[in-house]
């Protein structure tokens, strides 16, 4: 049995708590970060708060092993006095969307092998994709994740806006969205590129720009230019 405390009230804390509650080998208590005066003892204390609060929260914890769940915060900057680690799940967590933890990559880091093995055991209780990732590697993954998740989702939003404006159901685009995500399991993204930018189809590009708002045009132009700079024509 591994005893854990989760500190935090966001989406990561919420979904991790739910997963731990279901796991038979984990005891979990979830507490709010505003209530740190009396933290229960635990094998692993997990800080799942926003990055700018991790330092302060960690400085107030006397439990011996403290980890955080952030993609961009250095393990060494945890301010607890004893053992430190990272329990970063490379996935997008929204309150109202169930998480399938079997598909979540767990990026783990600890100062000692013994602590790493403990984190691995915890991760294996709810998932099965486990990676030993340094702070530097994790920061790389986090910024890459912003491109493939946050920015990609924003492009979906722009696509939905364009459809809404013109009374076309956005759902028609879902198979294309799925295929785009799935295609790069077989092809490198550079080889998977299609469309007017990589074909240098200036007429279509011009027609597209006419259909867009000023802000959409800015994004369209910059991404088109970037594709043309980096991809060879088909």
Q: How far apart are CA 13 and CA 29, in angstroms?
A: 11
Q: How far apart are CA 164 and CA 234, in angstroms?
A: 32
CB of 222 to its own copies, least distance (A): 6
Cβ proximity to its own copies, 37 vs 233, nearer residue: 233
CB of 42 to its own copies, least distance (A): 27
- 3-class DSSP assignment, residue 45: strand
Whole-angstrom distance between the N-terminal and C-terminal Cα of the chain?
56
- Nearest Cα residue to 42 out of 13, 8, 3: 3
CB of 200 to its own copies, least distance (A): 10
Cβ proximity to its own copies, 30 vs 208, nearer residue: 208
CB 78 within 8 A of CB 66: yes
CB of 120 to its own copies, least distance (A): 16
Cβ proximity to its own copies, 104 vs 110, nearer residue: 104
Q: How far apart are CA 49 and CA 32, in angstroms?
A: 9
Cβ proximity to its own copies, 112 vs 132, nearer residue: 132
């Amino acid at each position: 049995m591994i005893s854990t405390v989760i500190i935090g009230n966001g989406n990561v804390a919420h979904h991790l708590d739910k997963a731990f509650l279901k796991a038979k080998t984990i005891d979990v208590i979830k507490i709010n970060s505003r209530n740190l005066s009396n933290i229960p003892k635990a094998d692993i204390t997990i800080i799942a708060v926003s990055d700018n609060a991790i330092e302060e929260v960690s400085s107030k914890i006397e439990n011996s092993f403290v980890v955080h769940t952030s993609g961009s915060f250095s393990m060494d900057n945890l301010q607890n006095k004893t053992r430190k680690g990272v329990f970063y799940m490379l996935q997008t967590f929204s309150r109202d969307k169930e998480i399938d933890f079997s598909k979540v990559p767990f990026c783990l880091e600890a100062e000692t092998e013994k602590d790493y093995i403990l984190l691995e055991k915890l991760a294996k209780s709810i998932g099965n994709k486990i990676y030993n990732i340094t702070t530097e590697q994790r920061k790389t993954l986090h910024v890459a994740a912003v491109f493939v998740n946050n920015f990609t989702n924003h492009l979906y939003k722009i696509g939905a806006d364009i459809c809404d404006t013109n009374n076309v159901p956005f759902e028609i685009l879902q198979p294309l969205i799925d295929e785009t995500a799935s295609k790069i399991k077989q092809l490198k993204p550079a080889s998977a590129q299609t469309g007017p930018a990589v074909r240098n189809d200036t007429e279509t590009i011009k027609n597209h720009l006419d259909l867009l708002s000023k802000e959409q045009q800015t994004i369209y132009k910059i991404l088109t230019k970037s594709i043309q700079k980096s991809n060879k024509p088909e």
